[in-house]
């Protein structure tokens, strides 16, 4: 059974997302909407992460050591300039996709296991992850033309 492996991947992804939102909030403090919403989203992801830990514990015996292979390395370089905000939002969007897919996978497993608690957790967290993605998409769409066509 690979459930624990995937829970590990999800746990790691939510942790990365928590940190990434925090990083972007801090880095783009001069964009007031970015700072505040990214702080809020960071708190959401931290909360999701906390919820996962319980299930990691619960299914831990079955864990195989593999999640690192699947890890993404975004935000590696310290970008600056006009493109930085757009690229950072871009990477955040990708990370939320990673998290979202993990939740989908976990929810499928929860259905198979008839684990009502895990199912409820996955439903709740997936819905909030979608709200993160939706916001990022809206903000990316707004920033894109100005960044690509006008900013130097």
Which residues would be at the binding site for other proteins (CB under 8 A)? 30-33, 36-37, 40-41, 82, 131-132, 134-135, 137-138, 141-142, 144-147, 149-152
At residue 63, the 3 state secondary structure works out as coil
Report the nearest approach of other proteins to the CB of residue 128 (Å): 10
User: Residue 99 or residue 109: which is nearer to other proteins going by CB?
Assistant: 99
Report the nearest approach of other proteins to the CB of residue 22 (Å): 16
Residue 128 token pair: 């909030």
Length of the chain: 152
User: Residue 34 or residue 106: which is nearer to other proteins going by CB?
Assistant: 34
Report the nearest approach of other proteins to the CB of residue 109 (Å): 26
Cα–Cα distance between 27 and 100 in angstroms, integer? 25
The half-sphere exposure of 71 on its side-chain side, counting CA atoms within 13 A, is 15
Q: Where are the alpha helices (DSSP H) in the chain?
A: 3-27, 32-58, 82-113, 116-145
Report the nearest approach of other proteins to the CB of residue 40 (Å): 7
DSSP letter at 75 equals: S
- List Cβ neighbours of 122 (8 Å cut-off, separation of 6 or more): 103, 106, 107, 110
């Amino acid at each position: 059974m690979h459930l624990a492996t995937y829970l590990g991947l999800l746990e790691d992804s939510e942790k990365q997302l928590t940190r990434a939102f925090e990083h972007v909030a801090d880095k783009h403090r001069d964009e007031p909407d970015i700072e505040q919403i990214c702080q809020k989203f960071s708190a959401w992801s931290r909360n999701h992460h906390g919820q996962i830990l319980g299930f990691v514990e619960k299914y831990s015996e079955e864990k195989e050591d593999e999640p690192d292979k699947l890890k993404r390395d975004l935000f590696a370089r310290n970008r600056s300039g006009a493109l930085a905000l757009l690229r950072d939002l871009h990477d955040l969007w990708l990370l939320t996709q990673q998290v979202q897919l993990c939740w989908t996978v976990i929810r499928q497993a929860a259905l198979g296991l008839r684990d009502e608690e895990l199912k409820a957790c996955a439903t709740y967290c997936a819905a909030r992850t979608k709200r993160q993605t939706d916001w990022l998409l809206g903000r990316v769409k707004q920033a894109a033309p100005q960044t690509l066509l006008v900013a130097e």
